[in-house]
Amino acid sequence: MNNPSGCFNLLAKMTIIIMLVISPQVSIGQKKVKVKATGSYVSLDLTPEQTKLKALDEAKRDALIKAGVAESITVSDFLYTFEDNEKFKEIFQAFTSTETGGEVIVDSILSENRSFNEFGNMVIDVEIEATVFIHKSEDDPTLTIKVDGMEEHYTNNELLKFCVTPSCDGYLKIFNVTDEASSILYPYYDEAYPYLNDKPDYQLKALKKATFPLHKALEDGYTLEIYNPEKDKEFNLLIFVFTRENIPFMENAQNVKEIMGWIYAIPPEKRIVKQFGFIINR
């Protein structure tokens, strides 16, 4: 997905907004530890890539245990299932959220071994180095957002508009991730096109619906365009992060792990995260 306004590389080339600095109050209650962990999975009818993802899931569970997050039993992948696009799923295999206790980012896969057991089933073993964010608090049920207007399929050059209604006053960041690039959709900032910049400190009001894009120059919508001209379709994931406080993001928007690291460093009671996946077809 590219940015609106006819200069499509605005969204893809954006390098500024996603720079993150975590304020002292944000890190309160958060503990971050580095661990090495292992995982293994036996495949009965999965592809090698699917089996690898399952092994990584097991390694993430092991990482949580080694970090002392004993109460974290249920682990859910932070990914959106896009038909059979294994490459897109792989982008998110490094990120796992837990229902309670902690979250994991896979920093690197140290080793991956493939073998077959006595029954002829594929076995994949992995060793990872991971960062575990340990939470001392739970989600705040009074902090949430409702997103309306998102579709699962769009056509190339179609306009995207959606509405966000927050439960309380707060601040929104929207990240866009494809299988080739990542960037920040809102608040948009680019020194080359200042007339398109959003207000970084704009506060959404409780129970008041906000229609995006907020910028008057883009009131018709964000223009959707397939980033790679050789592709017939593009898989996109919009990640909405809403917080009561205006927490600055000051890392490279093109690094998905830095996006997730920023999100995970915010205590659960201070953020709500929602994901919406869609496909752009030519």
Fold matches, 9-26+139-281 and 30-135: no
What local confidence, expressed as pLDDT, does residue 237 receive?
A: 85
CATH code, 30-135: 3.30.1660
Tens digit of each residue's pLDDT (9 = 90 or more) over 119-161 = 899 999 999 998 888 877 677 889 999 999 999 889 999 999 9
Residues 6 or more apart in contact with residue 189 via CB below 8 angstroms: 14, 16, 17, 197, 198, 200
Is 90 exceeded by the pLDDT of residue 279?
A: no
What local confidence, expressed as pLDDT, does residue 40 receive?
A: 95
Label residue 221 exposed, middle or buried (CB < 10 Å: 0-12, 13-18, 19+). Answer: middle
- Higher pLDDT among residues 212 and 101, named by residue: 212
> Is the backbone peptide bond immediately before 48 cis, with ω within 30 degrees of 0?
no
What local confidence, expressed as pLDDT, does residue 158 receive?
A: 95
Say how far apart CA 271 and CA 29 lie, in whole Å: 13
Domain boundaries, the chain: 9-26+139-281, 30-135
pTM score over 0.85: no
What local confidence, expressed as pLDDT, does residue 70 receive?
A: 60
Mean of the pLDDT values across residues 11-23?
A: 29
- Return the CATH fold of 9-26+139-281: Immunoglobulin-like (2.60.40)
Tens digit of each residue's pLDDT (9 = 90 or more) over 63-108 = 888 888 765 444 444 443 444 555 555 554 444 444 446 778 888 8
The percentage of residues in the chain with a pLDDT greater than 90, rounded to a whole number, is 39
The residues that bridge with 148 in the sheet, in sequence order, are 163
